[in-house]
């Protein structure tokens, strides 16, 4: 008998945990992501307005969690650092203004700690959602709380498009941002750490993101500023991944990027899209690389377009992302634009309450898709045209647990794909290596 290769030996020794497909019309698995974003910036979802009494804020929070349960969801992505501030007693950054109306003012309770406890009491997972570099929705540093770190480090700031951002090109900024985020991960048993699509800001016509001094100081080894900027974001993602896995290995780390990496007209590896924005080129977010390098536990692209939309067809983007994640072990969830349902400003397809339900039906053709996340909590509750109710009736009749987290064979990301043994079966199965079992 010939000697078995390491891969063959691993294949022979692995036991894959998966469930079979459910009956037609019902969920295909008892494990899938069914999530909603709960946004706090500008009081988008919660609290309904600032300056509410703490008791009312808690009541509203519980109502959102109760609604998630009623809608058959299993995970809530709570925005806890919307603008370089905090919804917990952070030693790094001031309390969020969206709680009290005044940045830095103690709200008298611990929203993140309460949210974790209340979510877990209802059988929900709670993922803490952080915005890494956005500092303020205005461009005046003097309006920041006196205790804000940006007041002590004005050289960290870049004003752009009427807003303030931390400069991702400064190593001290990335270290600070990571420390601020990891403080919450250290304090609370969060089930995940979540970034959205904001890294470098979206382009603003006629304006320049002024990071020339940082580029002169730190960009000398790169062929151009764009490559340097992408590396800055790569460093944030990779370093955050490593630190989460060291600090709270059971927590998942995922990102919900803009739904288009690159257009095929720009890069043959890209998608058949023409949106005018490409994450790789405009936000300096190489989302495809993060997946292929194994730095994430999941990716949740915001595929916020309807089936048949010319510039970015949902029916083309889902299979494209499925192809990106295939064979990587990085789970694919699809970000869904529930907020567009019934909006008269949107294309006609969004007037049909069945549009979102058709999204889930289409996604089921791709075993790499492990679920969906809906933007956002307000529409999950109000459901103006019944699109969420239709999703629940068509797809969420049976309860489902969130997908189990992949167990990587080592705490450091970036393992070669050929060293992994991965499965794309629905329901989240396992990834294991010699000596490491599934969870």
**Span 307-321, pLDDT tens digits:** 999 999 999 999 999
- How far is Cα 280 from Cα 287, in angstroms, rounded to an integer? 7
105, two tokens: 């003012």
Strands 157-160 and 163-166: antiparallel
419 in helix, strand or coil?
helix
Question: Ramachandran region of residue 25, left (φ > 0), alpha (ψ -120 to 50) or beta?
Answer: left
Closest CA to 331 of 404, 269, 400, 261: 404
The verdict on pTM exceeding 0.85 is yes
Secondary structure letter of residue 264 according to DSSP = T
Quick one: pLDDT at residue 406?
62
- Res. 162 pLDDT band, cuts 50 70 90: very high
Across the range 284-302, mean pLDDT stands at 98
pLDDT for position 8? 37
Contact call for residues 375 and 209 (beta carbons, < 8 A): no
Can you tell me the distance from the alpha carbon of 327 to that of 335, in angstroms, rounded to the nearest whole number?
21
pLDDT at 185 over 50: yes
What is residue 30's predicted lDDT score, i.e. its pLDDT?
A: 76
Q: What is the pLDDT of residues 216-241, one digit of tens each?
A: 999 999 999 999 999 999 999 999 99
- State the Cα–Cα distance between residues 127 and 200, nearest whole angstrom: 23
Q: Bigger pLDDT: 392 or 439?
A: 392
Give residue limits of the domains in the chain. 6-131+177-205+243-419
> Is the confidence at residue 7, as pLDDT, over 50?
no
The more confidently predicted of residues 14 and 47 is 47
Q: How far is the C-alpha of 353 from the C-alpha of 283, rounded, in Å?
A: 32
Q: Could you tell me the two tokens for 36?
A: 């909603």
Give the span between the Cα atoms of 37 and 335, in whole angstroms.
10
d(CA 369, CA 367): 5
> Each residue of 363-398: pLDDT tens digit?
999 999 999 999 999 999 999 999 999 999 999 999
pLDDT at 417 over 70: no
**Residue 373 in tokens:** 């996340």
Q: How many CA atoms lie within 13 A of 173 on its CB side?
A: 24
Alpha-carbon span 125 to 112, nearest angstrom: 13
Yes or no: is domain 6-131+177-205+243-419 CATH 3.20.20.70? Answer: yes
Residue with tokens 């382009």: 203
- List, for residues 114-143, the tens digit of each pLDDT value: 999 999 999 999 999 999 999 999 999 999
Cβ neighbours of 76 (radius 10 Å):
28
Q: What angle do CA 171, 209, 167 make, to 5 degrees?
A: 20
Question: What pLDDT was estimated at residue 427?
Answer: 32
Kind of pairing between the strands at 369-374 and 331-336: parallel
């Amino acid at each position: 008998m010939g000697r078995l290769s390491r891969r063959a030996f691993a294949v022979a020794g692995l036991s894959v945990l998966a469930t079979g497909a459910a009956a037609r019309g019902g969920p295909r698995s008892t494990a899938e992501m069914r999530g909603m974003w709960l946004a706090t910036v500008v009081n988008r979802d919660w609290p309904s307005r600032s300056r509410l009494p703490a008791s009312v804020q808690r009541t509203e929070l519980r109502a959102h969690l109760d609604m998630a349960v009623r809608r058959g969801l299993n995970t809530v992505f709570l925005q806890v650092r919307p603008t370089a501030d905090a919804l917990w007693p952070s030693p790094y950054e001031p309390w969020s203004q969206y709680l009290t109306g005044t940045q830095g003012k103690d709200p008298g309770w611990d929203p993140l700690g309460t949210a974790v406890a209340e979510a877990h009491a209802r059988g929900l997972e709670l993922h803490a959602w952080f915005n890494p570099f956005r500092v303020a929705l205005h461009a005046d540093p003097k309006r920041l709380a006196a205790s804000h770190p940006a007041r002590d480090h004005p050289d960290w700031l870049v004003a752009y498009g009427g807003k303030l951002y931390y400069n991702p090109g400064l190593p001290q900024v990335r270290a600070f941002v990571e420390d601020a985020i990891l403080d919450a991960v250290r304090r609370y048993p969060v089930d995940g750490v979540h970034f959205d699509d904001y890294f470098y800001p979206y382009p603003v016509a006629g304006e320049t993101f002024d990071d020339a001094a940082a580029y002169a100081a730190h960009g000398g080894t790169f062929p151009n500023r764009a490559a340097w900027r992408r590396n800055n974001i790569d460093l944030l993602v990779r370093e955050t991944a490593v630190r989460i896995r060291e600090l709270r290995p059971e927590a998942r780390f995922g990102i919900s990027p803009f739904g288009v990496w690159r257009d095929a007209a720009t890069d043959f590896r890209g998608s058949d899209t023409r949106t005018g924005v490409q994450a790789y080129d405009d936000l300096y977010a190489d989302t495809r690389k993060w997946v292929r390098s194994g730095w994430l536990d999941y990716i949740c692209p915001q595929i916020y377009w309807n089936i048949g939309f010319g510039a970015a067809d949902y029916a083309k983007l889902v299979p494209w992302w499925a192809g990106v994640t295939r064979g990587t072990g990085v789970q694919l969830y699809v970000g869904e634009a529930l907020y567009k349902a019934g909006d008269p400003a949107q294309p006609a397809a969004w007037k049909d309450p069945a549009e979102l339900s058709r999204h889930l039906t289409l996604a089921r053709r791709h075993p790499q898709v492990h679920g969906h996340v809906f933007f956002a909590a307000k529409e999950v509750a109000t459901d103006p045209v019944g699109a969420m109710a239709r999703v629940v009736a068509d797809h969420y009749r049976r309860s489902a647990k969130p997908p189990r987290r992949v167990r990587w064979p080592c705490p450091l990301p970036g393992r070669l794909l050929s060293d992994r043994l991965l499965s794309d079966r629905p329901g989240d199965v396992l990834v294991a290596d010699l000596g490491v079992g599934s969870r």
